[in-house]
Structure 1
Amino acid sequence: MDDTEAVPRLTRLTFHGPLGEARAGAMVDRLARTRPGTILDIGCGWAELTLRILTAVPAGTAVGIDHSAEDLARGRRSAAERDLADRVELAEESGYDTARGPADLVLCLGASHALSDAAPPRHTAEALARLRRLVTPGGRVLLGEAFWARTPTAGELGAMWPDAHAGEHHDLAGLVDVATAAGFRPEWIETANADEWDEFESGYLADVEEWLAARPGDALAAETRTWVDAHRASWLRGYRDVLGFAYLTLIPA
């Protein structure tokens, strides 16, 4: 990779996951209806959804935690632009055994691995047990979690990430069963659609693809080109239409 010019990163993404504007708006409306006074966002990235909820709940405050200093800085800039900086703290810290919370609304979108060191899929149950302790009575948890939309073939597994295996994820029904076993009732069950997935995957690579297109044959960009090509192949030949992503709005029972 050319160290003299940084590769742009994720500027085409509004959310760091397969989440479209229509679904995000409906989520904000549904979660704001409970008027959460405190919000905890685990693995918040740049905290776009949390900032939108804060806008809809003028009395609320939020804490977001993540390991990425770059994403957190983006979130702080966004909060300042929306006059929300005094109502949200974005901290670079681990979610594992976090002392933050309990909160009226806890978001954990694609970050259950931050709450458990167990191997998949057991980490999901451990994460949900911790989320159950982090939410106040009568509050809500919004969990975003991957699941198998169908059983992957051997060829699809071979095209995915290293050591991918069919037992790595639950199916949707199994994922909801794990949530109820952890002490939740599912208020709302929804899954990302194909358009949301395509928008996310394209947006995830778009900045880098544009950067590479301006450097054909550049040996200094070879490492980046190899990584991008491998990720695209993993998506298109491996998990596209196989891996799903569920958004579960959960009520502590």
Structure 2
Amino acid sequence: MDRQEISAIAHGDHPIAAPISDESVGVLLDRALRRSDERVLDLGCGAGTWLIRALADRPGLRAVGVDTDASAIARAEKAATAAGVADRVVFHAMDAKDFTAPNRFDLVLSVGAAHAFGGLLPTLDAAAGHLASDGGLLVGDGFWERPPGRATLDAGFEAEEYDDLATTVDRITDRGWVPIYGHVSTRQEWDDYEWSWTGTLSRWALEHPEHPDSDQALRAAAEHRTDWLHGYRGTFGFLTLCLRRAHDR
């Protein structure tokens, strides 16, 4: 069982692959989308949850989703059909860095996918290349709630991987972006996400003892839970921002 398969199972009860509640997703989309007829691109769309949510509430919206995980794209296409929005969204199984389109987009999303571009700032640059002149960006990435200690670093992080909240926002504004709205994931959102991730994967393993990967899944859930509880809980934060480019003011 590879990491993509583990992630697909673990996110079964929390389809937003980030520590963001359903209510917060709705608020962020409302702030980011200014019209009901916009063209939206999701770079690193996973199973298409953000796009399907946006399309379901806005019948004039058109969307494109890109993700390197072909199995996630297949799930996205199935979910779009079930939600009745398949005629307004196209999904591509490919590296988001290689995606090109003949037209620019009114909104680009990239939440929890900065690793695909090599970090937050390269993600901003990539998104800018797809935006219409007055377009907006909805981006989500990590930051340090407090300086990481040894336990956090032992959980697989590097100290220079992120900055504190103020420095993170400063780096974004220095790049020529203006925050229109922001959401810092709460402890409750983080706990719900992590308990869902580890619990859903554990439940799957316990309910499928005959599966050849059940023991591996149970170990992966336990290791993740240990890294979270003993490592980065209360240290690693998550910030989602609605941005516009400064020269659009």
- Closer, same or farther in 2 for the Cα pair 1:126/1:81, shift >3 Å? same
8 Å contact kept, 1:12–1:206: no
8 Å contact kept, 2:33–2:107: no
* Structure 1 gap ranges (5+): 117-122
- Closer, same or farther in 2 for the Cα pair 1:236/1:183, shift >3 Å? same
1:119-139 CA-partner distances (Å, limit 9, x unpaired) = xxxx32222122222211221
Deviates more, 1:205-214 or 1:53-62: 205-214
1:56-115 CA-partner distances (Å, limit 9, x unpaired) = 332221100112222222221221122211100011011114213521000001111212
Instruction: Supply the distance in 1 between the matched residues of 2:126 and 2:7 (Cα, whole angstroms).
Output: 36
Instruction: Supply the distance in 1 between the matched residues of 2:212 and 2:78 (Cα, whole angstroms).
Output: 35
1:55 offset after TM fit, Å? Answer: 2.5
Instruction: Supply the distance in 2 between the matched residues of 1:208 and 1:33 (Cα, whole angstroms).
Output: 37
2:176 is aligned with 1:180? no
- Closer, same or farther in 2 for the Cα pair 1:83/1:147, shift >3 Å? same
Please tell me the residue identity of whatever aligns with 2:45.
C
Aligned to 2:217: 224
2:242 is aligned with 1:240? no
1:139-196 CA-partner distances (Å, limit 9, x unpaired) = 11000101111101123322x12xx222110111111122112221111121111111
* TM-score (structure 2 length as normaliser): 0.87
Matches within 5 A, 1:65-84: 65-84=66-85
Aligned to 1:14: 15
Aligned to 2:121: 125
1:215 offset after TM fit, Å? Answer: 7.0
SS at match of 2:96: coil
Instruction: Supply the distance in 2 between the matched residues of 1:82 and 1:34 (Cα, whole angstroms).
Output: 21
Please tell me the residue identity of whatever aligns with 1:238.
G
Instruction: Supply the distance in 2 between the matched residues of 1:113 and 1:157 (Cα, whole angstroms).
Output: 17
Aligned to 1:48: 49
1:8 offset after TM fit, Å? Answer: 7.6
Q: 1:212 aligns with which of 202, 205, 210?
A: 205
Please tell me the residue identity of whatever aligns with 2:187.
A
* TM-score (structure 1 length as normaliser): 0.86
* Structure 2 gap ranges (5+): none
